[in-house]
Chains A and B, each alone.
Chain A
């Protein structure tokens, strides 16, 4: 039984997948971005701390798939003033590490990465940095996001407008 995370080709596939996801987010390609998700997925941006029980603590974002669809619907619709005009975004995702040794090709791959994101909007350039945690499912030979957790360095500070895709 081979471990998929030690496989060089899997590693490069994960990198390519995360690069593609970053590109969709940066360029506001909401329907393409949504296609990268499993319907069982959770998009989590913790608030005040990096980890806690989200049933008992508020989050900046805690989207199930239905709410992810709503988020993309809203951002694509007229009247989302906080993204009119949209933020200009450029991010680097790197320092990818594999946290588990998923043993079969239908297993969930646990991936960690770091992100640096620069946003320009309304005359203001803002740098966001975050540690990322992904759980990826391999579905019909394609990765699907089952969890994306974005641990912003400043998640306990007063933040501005985070209505774009982190």
Chain B
């Protein structure tokens, strides 16, 4: 039976340590509360600074259902404004990316600088003396900050810093960027935009589904390589790990079974380092940066698929910067930005793109099957005679490290429990 939240004391009562009530994924009133209590309060991922490299470059992004213009002003500073004319609310920016000195509202011509100041109001004589343009600039998003080029925003004027919010996840955002010899990735190769008829929280971290949801991916790897890849990478016997980093941030540590070999790929999703001058130049650059061949190979092995979920709306998986946009309880959009490496031969980034397309996007060989499962989840969860989902896997076997991470086998539901615990904390 449907949960009417007005009858409940707290949302947190829908989350237990080893099980979750399906209303968390299906109830529209809970979704509205999620926008207010999570997306309009916590730090959320907004954009990458490489999307707006020059003064005047802008891009529009979403925080929940609020559209935001992220713009690099004439002074080189990145700012974020709500896309709403202060006069009557029309959006002042129509495009997803571009270059602009000014944003002019199409309704009555109010004009804003790319630093957000209101600089032009037509026929001003009909406003009184108390009309102050200084007070009517585009409303800035209360806070924004960046880590390694990843720009986050918070609609809360006060609260924990971005560094506090990211906690242990910051290290892995850095590791993702460290796959690039420049220490920064570049998001200038477009966005793969998808939707599915299901709840945004299904875009989680799950090391248990691979052999089943992605059976064809494993079959294709076997077909390409001539031998079966190690299906045990994704079983209860795998040395790979699920990790709860705290704060809802979590990851799959797949590095134990990853091997960096020039000219060979253990994952068609990632491509290989080609046995070419371009590949050799990449390795030389990484060795120069990290001091030795062993250190460089170790860095590449750990960096090229950090498989990180930064709660609530960012994932770094393989080469993808994946951004989750909640639209309603049963409808979600996901934007995937392939992250290119800086200062490498074009062929490396071209391989990265082709490997990205192999798995990701709306016609790839992997992600569509995930979204198919998410849609079937949504249908299934409306059957709530038995409304509790079982998230107990590995619960009794996990380890806690000295620095407070919870670590389990790759198939354990450490990651889901991490996110749900944070959800309960945020929703109260």
Main secondary structure of the interface of A (DSSP, over half): loop
Q: Which residues of B contact A16 (CB under 8 A)?
A: none
In the complex, are the beta carbons of B363 and A62 less than 8 A apart?
no
The yes or no answer to B333 lying at the interface (CB within 8 A) is yes
User: Is the CB–CB distance between A70 and B372 below 8 Å?
Assistant: no
Q: Bound complex: CA of A150 vs CA of B266, how far in Å? A: 31
Interface membership of B21, Cβ < 8 A = no
CB B195 to nearest CB in A, in angstroms, measures 4
A31-65, CB < 8 A from B: 45, 47-48, 54-62
Contact-residue bracket for chain A: 35 or more
Q: Are A79's CB and B372's CB within 8 A?
A: no
**Chain B, Cβ-Cβ closest to A64:** B354
Task: State whether the Cβ of B369 lies closer than 8 Å to any Cβ in chain A.
Answer: yes
Contact in complex: B357, A79 (CB < 8 Å): no
Residues of A within 8 A of B223 (CB): 70, 73
Considering the chains assembled together, what is the distance between the CA atoms of A151 and B223 in angstroms? 30
- In the complex, B371 has a CB within 8 A of chain A: yes
**Interface CB pairs A-B, < 8 A, 7:** A47-B192, A61-B361, A80-B216, A157-B193, A159-B194, A159-B195, A161-B368
CA distance A55 to B215 in the complex (A): 29
Contact (A48, B350) CB under 8 Å given A58-B356, A60-B362: no
Name the residue of chain A whose CB is nearest to the CB of B356: A58
Bound form: Cα–Cα A124–B196 in Å: 12
What residue of chain B has the Cβ atom nearest to residue A75's Cβ? B216
Q: Across the interface, which residues of B come within 8 angstroms of A161, CB to CB?
A: 362, 368, 371-372
A8 contacts partner chain B, Cβ-Cβ < 8 Å: no
A51 to B124, CA, bound (A): 44
Known A47-B192, A48-B191, A160-B195; contact A58-B371, beta-carbon cutoff 8 A: no
Q: Which residues of A contact B192 (CB under 8 A)?
A: 47, 58, 60
Q: Which of A84-124 contact B (CB under 8 A)?
A: 84, 122, 124
B98 to chain A, nearest CB (A): 13
CA distance A54 to B363 in the complex (A): 16
Closest chain B residue to A79, Cβ basis: B215
Residue B189 lies at the interface, judged by CB distance under 8 Å to chain A: yes
Give the 5 A-B CB pairs with smallest separation, nearest first. Answer: A79-B215, A82-B368, A158-B193, A158-B195, A162-B363
Which residues of chain A from 111 to 166 have a CB within 8 Å of any chain B CB? 122, 124, 156-163, 166
Q: How long is the Cα–Cα vector from A47 to B375 in the complex, in angstroms?
A: 23
Q: Which residues of A contact B354 (CB under 8 A)?
A: 62
Shortest CB distance B371–A (Å): 7
- B195–A70 CB distance below 8 A: no
Smallest CB separation, A58 vs chain B (Å): 4
Cβ of B358 within 8 Å of any chain A Cβ, yes or no, is: yes
